[in-house]
Chains A and B, each alone.
Chain A
Amino acid sequence: MSTPRLLEIRQGVLSKNDRLAAELRQRFHAAGVFVVNLLSSPGAGKTRLLEETLRRMGTDLRVAALVGDLATDNDALRLARSGAPVRQIQTGDMCHLEAHLVEQHLDGWNLDDLDVLFIENVGNLVCPTGYDLGEAARAVLLSVTEGEDKPLKYPGAFVSADCVVVTKMDLAEAVEFDQRAAEANIASVHPGVPIVYTSARTGAGLDAWMEWLEHHRCSSHR
């Protein structure tokens, strides 16, 4: 008769990604690059926000972006108009970015020549959540057109956020966006997380977003 035996392991399933992300984080830190991972559902306005962010930031700092999509390099082309170095990561059928994809796409870039690197993740509020990319900060976007209860439906993403950026505020009235409800829902899944309300179209709130970035950039170098 056979006896079932147990081999204890206790290892994170994503430990390979975590290790690589930790190495990346060390490289970024050593080179003085502040890295921000942008997460949201598809169409929440990551690229639009990033266009404005690159344009504003680019006057004082050396900024670059990696942008993940399942297909097309449309977003990279849009972002490249800002003048910043931009690379598209096409994931094919993968719904999230992983640390090894980030590492591959840094090839040929001298990190010492950069101050800030944005990583625009694949539009998805579930899959990217568990994958560390070596970022110093994670911003999760919520557009007013998505509904105020999105944080309750996708708590995992909002829990992992260092900042929540509400986007498309210029449409708030048209879609009857209830800001108080949204704020309560965000606070319910992540008490104390900073929230900035923005419109990349009108420029409203972008100063607060830039301030948040600058504050975290400075504190990440300490």
Chain B
Amino acid sequence: MHELSIAHSLIELATQAAAQAGVTRVTAVHLRLGVLAGVVKDALLFGFEIASAGTILEGARLEIEDLPLRIHCAACDTVVTLPDIQHFRCPYCGTPGNRIMSGRELELSALEYDDTVADSAGESYVNSATP
């Protein structure tokens, strides 16, 4: 069970990126997760909820995009998607292959945030109310 430490790394990365961009509250975190990354989705979702408490990510959704395993088939000279992670062979010609093109991703792809929340809500209300 290393999902909690992955959640911590994810939150650290997201917090830094948000701070750099001046984002003060994040509403969703988008993660690209390869099927071979060795991460259990439910455990990560659970870990994220716990680890995000008290940070600017608290209450944010964790949106996970699942990515399949893709290898390069030398015989077909093309990238093929494998139906599972137990059989590293081309589903079309049967040639074994170990050149992994994708499926190991564990990547923070984007953060979603609210525009109004981002530029410190209190002040902007005051400004618009008293022009």
A interface residue numbers (CB < 8 A to B):
2-17, 94-96, 126-127, 129-130, 152, 155-156, 159, 187-193
Cα(A17)–Cα(B6), bound, Å: 11
The residues of A that contact B1 with a CB separation of less than 8 Å are 95, 127
**Inter-chain contact B107/A13, CB cutoff 8 Å:** yes
**Inter-chain contact B106/A130, CB cutoff 8 Å:** yes
Given contacts A8-B109, A155-B86, 13 further A-B contacts (CB under 8 A): A5-B115, A9-B17, A12-B108, A13-B31, A14-B9, A15-B13, A94-B2, A126-B38, A130-B106, A159-B100, A187-B96, A189-B88, A191-B88
B56 on the A face (CB < 8 A): no
Q: Which bracket fits the contact residues of B? A: 35 or more
The smallest C-beta distance from A90 to any residue of chain B, in angstroms, reads 16
**The 9 A-B residue pairs with the shortest CB-CB distance in the complex, in nearest-first order:** A191-B96, A127-B2, A2-B116, A156-B38, A2-B114, A7-B111, A3-B115, A13-B106, A155-B85
The residues of B that contact A16 with a CB separation of less than 8 Å are 9, 12-13
Cα(A126)–Cα(B18), bound, Å: 30
Cα(A187)–Cα(B6), bound, Å: 30
Cα(A5)–Cα(B113), bound, Å: 5
The residues of B that contact A129 with a CB separation of less than 8 Å are 38
The residues of B that contact A156 with a CB separation of less than 8 Å are 36-38, 85
**Inter-chain contact B108/A10, CB cutoff 8 Å:** yes
Q: Can you sample 5 A-B contacts with CB below 8 Å? A: A4-B27, A12-B106, A130-B106, A188-B87, A189-B86
**Inter-chain contact B109/A10, CB cutoff 8 Å:** yes
The residues of B that contact A15 with a CB separation of less than 8 Å are 13
**Inter-chain contact A11/B111, CB cutoff 8 Å:** no
Given known contacts A12-B107, A14-B9, A126-B38, A7 and B23 CB-to-CB distance under 8 angstroms? yes
**Inter-chain contact B112/A5, CB cutoff 8 Å:** yes
**Inter-chain contact A14/B98, CB cutoff 8 Å:** no
The residues of A that contact B13 with a CB separation of less than 8 Å are 9, 11, 13, 15-16
